[in-house]
């Protein structure tokens, strides 16, 4: 598809945008594959069990940290799923007193050498090192229906002792997907919320950043200004606990969500412990990248990993309630776009190249948002300046007549 637009106003701005569609998935170099580990279903997890978790807090090195199981909250959500509650007993989270960090979603948790699930929940408005873990059975069932890993029993109760933290005793446990539930909870209630996913953004101006935030926040995605992709070549062998990215936009503007890889089975991977989008896109096609963590940014509201995508190594094919699944070695089919803009008054011309992930709903929002930001950058201000405007665009489609429109405002 090729689209051309011309806008004429007191400040003359001509825009040419070319959007091309690629056919098929390109093969790319994939990192080292792995095998599915032994698993322990939530029904076998007991309070007091100890184990380890894995995640990246700086660079690409996976850090191992000790954990203790506090209990299991069974049938805790509208989806009928269970949540294993753990305490992190050491490592970066404890040393920095930063609580459960945005970007830790998907961090694998092991007990007796067996995978029990992935970190996906944190305690509302707290720096407590206490996390909710999505059981691996739920994660795999969401990605591979009929998987025989097993889920917890359907007894709808808290399986564990009361939790005491800093002299405060919690006897009740709840899950909140909005602030109202957390605000209404009693003093004896520990409220868990889905761990927000940081979305590192580079190349967008303040207005476009504000619009992107409005678009993503309802999906528990938090845009954060970041340094952009890693500039130098860097190969990462993926393993459980590695930082991974979900790229929404790449090119001169980069928008990438960051999480953690839970497990690898051949060329198949599972991560996050929850969906990327609250609406759960289902079958999808999103770029899967390796990621570099610059460090942990502590915050009373939400600590998060400041990260950069490195390189595409596969594509995410499933966005489900309890997990995100993908395939290594094949590239996502992105929608490339080129914007060529010139401001006659300022005698400024620039070309912007981006690619947005392909989706019936999201692609148009992302391309339009980057286009408006590009216009603002070239016009150095409000693109809807005083005076009249004439807008003309042309869209060329493969195998179809072109679409042309012209209007005046």
Question: Residues 89, 12: one domain?
Answer: no
Question: Residues 48, 148: one domain?
Answer: yes
pLDDT at 151: 41
Percentage above 90 pLDDT, the chain: 41
Question: Residues 53, 153: one domain?
Answer: yes
pLDDT at 19: 39
pLDDT at 311: 94
Residue 125 lies in a domain: yes
Per-residue pLDDT tens digits for 69-94: 998 888 765 566 889 999 999 999 99
pLDDT band of residue 278 (cuts 50, 70, 90) is confident
Last residue of a domain, one of 173, 194, 215: 194
Q: Which residue has the higher pLDDT, 85 or 368?
A: 85
Question: Residues 157, 119: one domain?
Answer: yes
The domain of 141 spans 42-194
CA distance 136 to 290: 22
3-state class (DSSP) for residue 129: coil
Question: Residues 13, 84: one domain?
Answer: no
Question: Residues 57, 14: one domain?
Answer: no
Residue 119 lies in a domain: yes
pLDDT at 143: 63
pLDDT at 47: 92
Min mean pLDDT across 65-74, 106-115, 149-158, 288-297 is at: 149-158
Question: Which DSSP state fits 42?
Answer: G
Question: Residues 16, 65: one domain?
Answer: no
pLDDT at 25: 44
Last residue of a domain, one of 194, 226, 249: 194
Residue 83 lies in a domain: yes
Residue 156 lies in a domain: yes
Q: Looking at the predicted structure, is the pLDDT value of residue 53 above 50?
A: yes
Q: Which residue has the higher pLDDT, 186 or 103?
A: 103
Task: Please report the DSSP string for 55-122 in residue order.
Answer: EESSBTPEEEEEEEEEEEETT-STT---EEEEEE-SSHHHHTT--SPBT-TT-EEEETTEEEEEEEEE
Residue position matching structure tokens 């198949």: 268
Q: Looking at the predicted structure, is the pLDDT value of residue 4 above 60?
A: no
Q: Is 304 exposed, middle or buried (0-12, 13-18, 19+ CB in 10 A)?
A: buried
Residue 367 lies in a domain: yes
Question: Residues 55, 7: one domain?
Answer: no
Residue 241 lies in a domain: no
Q: Which residue has the higher pLDDT, 394 or 306?
A: 306
Question: Residues 67, 17: one domain?
Answer: no
- The CATH number covering residue 131 comes to 2.40.10.10
Question: Residues 7, 100: one domain?
Answer: no
Percentage above 70 pLDDT, the chain: 78
Per-residue pLDDT tens digits for 10-44: 333 333 333 333 334 444 544 555 678 899 999 89
Per-residue pLDDT tens digits for 90-123: 999 999 988 899 999 999 999 999 999 999 999 8
Residue 258 lies in a domain: no
pLDDT at 407: 78
Question: Residues 9, 141: one domain?
Answer: no
Average pLDDT along the chain: 81
Per-residue pLDDT tens digits for 330-350: 999 998 888 877 777 778 888
Please state, in angstroms and as integers, the Cα–Cα distance from residue 282 to each residue in 214, 232, 286, 323, 354, following that order: 22, 34, 11, 10, 25
Question: Residues 65, 185: one domain?
Answer: yes
- Rounded to the nearest angstrom, the gap between the alpha carbon of residue 155 and the centroid of all alpha carbons in its chain is 32
Report the Cα–Cα distance between both ends of the chain, in Å, rounded: 26
Per-residue pLDDT tens digits for 221-257: 999 998 888 877 788 999 999 999 999 999 999 999 9
Residue 343 lies in a domain: yes
pTM of the model: 0.84
What is the length of the chain?
409
Last residue of a domain, one of 194, 209, 244: 194
CA distance 39 to 115: 5
Q: How many domains does the chain have?
A: 2
pLDDT at 372: 79
Contact 72, 42 (CB under 8 A): yes
């Amino acid at each position: 598809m090729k689209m051309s637009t011309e806008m004429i106003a007191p400040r003359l701005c001509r825009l040419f945008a070319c959007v091309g569609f690629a056919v098929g998935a390109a093969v790319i170099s994939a990192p080292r594959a792995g095998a599915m580990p032994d698993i322990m279903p939530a029904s076998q997890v007991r309070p007091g069990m100890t184990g380890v978790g894995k995640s990246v807090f700086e660079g690409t090195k996976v850090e191992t940290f000790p954990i203790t199981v506090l209990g299991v909250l069974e049938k805790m959500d509208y989806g009928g799923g269970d949540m294993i509650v753990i305490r992190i007993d050491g490592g970066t989270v404890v040393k920095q007193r930063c609580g459960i960090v945005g970007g830790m979603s998907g961090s694998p948790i092991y007990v007796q050498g067996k995978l029990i699930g992935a970190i996906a929940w944190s305690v509302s408005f707290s720096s407590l090192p206490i996390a909710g873990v999505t059981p691996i059975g739920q994660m795999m069932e969401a990605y591979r229906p009929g998987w025989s890993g097993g889920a917890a029993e359907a007894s709808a109760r808290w399986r564990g002792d009361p939790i005491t933290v800093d002299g405060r005793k919690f006897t009740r446990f709840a899950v909140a997907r909005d602030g109202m539930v957390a605000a209404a909870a009693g003093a004896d209630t520990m409220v868990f919320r889905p761990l927000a996913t940081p979305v590192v953004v580079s190349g967008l101006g303040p207005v476009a950043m504000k619009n992107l935030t409005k678009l993503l926040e309802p999906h528990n995605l938090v845009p954060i200004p970041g340094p952009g992709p890693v500039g130098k070549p860097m190969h990462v062998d993926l393993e459980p606990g590695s930082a991974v990215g979900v790229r929404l936009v790449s090119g001169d503007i980069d928008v990438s969500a960051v999480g953690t890889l839970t497990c690898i089975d051949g060329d198949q991977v599972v991560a996050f412990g929850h969906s990327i989008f609250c609406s759960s896109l289902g079958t999808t096609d999103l770029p899967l990248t390796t990621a570099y963590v610059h460090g942990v940014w502590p915050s009373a509201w939400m600590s998060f990993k400041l990260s950069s995508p490195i390189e595409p190594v596969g594509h995410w094919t499933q966005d489900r309630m309890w997990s995100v699944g993908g395939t290594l070695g094949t590239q996502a089919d992105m929608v490339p776009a080129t914007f060529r803009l010139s401001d006659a008054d300022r005698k400024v011309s620039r070309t912007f190249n981006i690619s947005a992930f392909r989706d019936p709903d999201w692609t148009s929002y992302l391309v339009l948002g980057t286009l408006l930001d590009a216009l603002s950058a070239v016009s150095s201000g409000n693109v809807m300046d005083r005076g009249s405007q004439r807008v003309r665009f042309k869209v060329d489609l493969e195998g179809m007549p072109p679409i042309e429109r012209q209007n005046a405002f």
